[in-house]
Amino acid sequence: MPKRGYHHGNLRQALIEAALKLIEEKGPTGFTLSEAAKTAGVTPAAVYRHFAGREDLIAEAARQGFDMFADLMQYAYDTGQPSALAAFEATGRAYLAFARRHPGHYISMFESGISVNRTPELAAAANRAKAVLERAAGELSEHIPAEKRPPASMFSAHIWAMSHGVVELYARNTGTASPFPPEDLLETGIGIYLRGLGLIEADK
């Protein structure tokens, strides 16, 4: 993507991509506005034409991340049909796939320290993602007798927590080597959990 003269053309998006790359390589701490500008082939001051500052850039990266994330999980859910169970499991796999394929986004969203309520746009994107998961959980939990059914928001919070935990503890290069492939770990974990809810037969 060579620079074509004085005007960049699409600097805003180029800066976001530079930020994502740096965050991916060096963690949320390693990201600096100046280096992102340099990576995009531009003076640090140019950044201020497009963003209010450093945090604003990260927030926008996170927003785009939540958008993609929600789309991806929605798509996984839709194409995982017709069985609610199959759709739900596809959504779980999509979670991990997203974290793997878009680590920069994932880190911006969950590890950068920026609050999800920083801007209305960011909050909206995050809520949409959450809603997709809750809907998947809600539809699946209709197969449980009403009196034993946990609230869908609790159900989805459990799944989200386990997915996030697997990503953070076992799907990163740092530290503890995973005893099992993260994908397997998450799939078996969700499987056991769903069995506990009576959604999978005990001997399967």
Partner DNA sequence: TGTACATCAGTGAACGCGCGTTCACTGATGTAC
Residues that bind DNA (CB under 7 A): 5-9, 11, 32-35, 41-50, 53-54
Per rule CB under 8 A, is residue 25 in the interface with its own copies? no
Q: How far is the CB of 49 from DNA (least distance, A)?
A: 5
Question: In the block, which residue shows the tokens 């499991």?
Answer: 89
Per rule CB under 8 A, is residue 108 in the interface with its own copies? no
Angle subtended at Cα 46 by Cα 40 and Cα 48, rounded to the nearest 5 degrees? 120
Name which position in 4, 5, 6, 174 contacts its own copies (CB under 8 A).
174
Peptide bond into 28 cis (omega under 30): no
- Return d(Cα 79, Cα 89) in angstroms, integer: 11
Name which position in 115, 121, 142, 143 contacts its own copies (CB under 8 A).
115
Q: How far is CA 187 from CA 95, 107, 162, 165, 183, in A?
A: 11, 22, 10, 13, 6
How many CA atoms does the CB half-sphere of 136 hold within 13 Å? Answer: 32
The stretch near its own copies (CB under 8 A) out of 4-12, 43-51, 76-84, 174-182 is 174-182
What are the φ and ψ backbone dihedral angles of 144, each rounded to 5 degrees?
A: -95, 140
Non-local (6+) Cβ contacts of 79 within 8 A are 90
By a kind-dependent CB cut-off of 5 to 8 A, residue 32 interacts, out of DNA, its own copies, none, with DNA
Per rule CB under 8 A, is residue 64 in the interface with its own copies? no
The stretch near its own copies (CB under 8 A) out of 21-29, 33-41, 42-50, 81-89 is 21-29
Non-local (6+) Cβ contacts of 195 within 8 A are 201, 202, 204
Q: How far is the CB of 148 from its own copies (least distance, A)?
A: 8
By a kind-dependent CB cut-off of 5 to 8 A, residue 5 interacts, out of DNA, its own copies, none, with DNA
* Closer Cβ to its own copies, 5 or 201, answer by number: 201
Here the tokens at position 28 are 């949320």
Per rule CB under 8 A, is residue 75 in the interface with its own copies? no
What are the φ and ψ backbone dihedral angles of 172, each rounded to 5 degrees?
A: -110, 155
* Total site size for its own copies, rule CB under 8 A: 46
Note the residues at the interface with its own copies (CB under 8 A).
Answer: 27-29, 110-111, 113, 115-117, 126, 130, 150-151, 153-154, 157-158, 160-166, 168-170, 174-176, 178-180, 185-186, 188-189, 191-198, 202
